[in-house]
Amino acid sequence: MMRFSIARDALPFVVPLGAAAAVLFVFGLIVPGAVCALAAVLVLFFFRDPKRTPPSDTALVVAPADGLIVGVSEVDEPDYLGEPTVRVSIFLRLWNVHMTYAPVNGTVEHVAYRPGRFGIAGFSKASELNEANSIGVRAGGGRLMFRQIAGMIARRIVCRIGPGDEVRRGERVGLIKFGSRVDVFFPKSYEVLVRKGDLVRAALSPIARPR
């Protein structure tokens, strides 16, 4: 089940674009007015904010973002899990929903923002080098972490949760404005249910489960 709305984060972009379009139309400047109006519509499309209902099986970890699986690899994760992990990387394309959703039910134990580069988010090293925000959650099946990563176009990460907060699967916890990638880190004991090249939908597509 999905319900459609627009994130409030669109307002700082849509209001000036809409106002500019109105003024230009009043003065008979049709083409530039139409360009501003189209830009406002595209921003609204980008900031669409669907409410989604995750699968009923609460053992399943769902995708925290819409997009394309660009990598499934084994990496060390020293910041929160402190052990070798499996990393699933989701690349958000411009036409995807760009909200970030909680992948599990649990308690937030770790939130850490890291300034960094704005390189191409599809590259593997973007997880270590780009601006990012990491969120560690203790769930019933153990602990996991997901990381919001900025890219060449995305220049603002929004996170609306902090340590001690309880989150529910499918709950919207933030977004990456105009981009770009979300990584999920699991202990190697988890069974990963996706592979490179798969398309996933946030809060709906299972990506892993505890063994």
Residues identified as active-site: 180
Name the strands in the sheet holding 172-177, side by side, starting at the edge strand that comes first in the sequence.
Answer: 99-101, 172-177, 156-159
Output the six-digit token pair for 1.
């089940």
Residues 6+ apart with CB under 8 A from 130: 116, 117, 118, 119, 121, 149, 150, 151, 181
User: What is the C-alpha separation between 96 and 109, in angstroms, rounded?
Assistant: 28
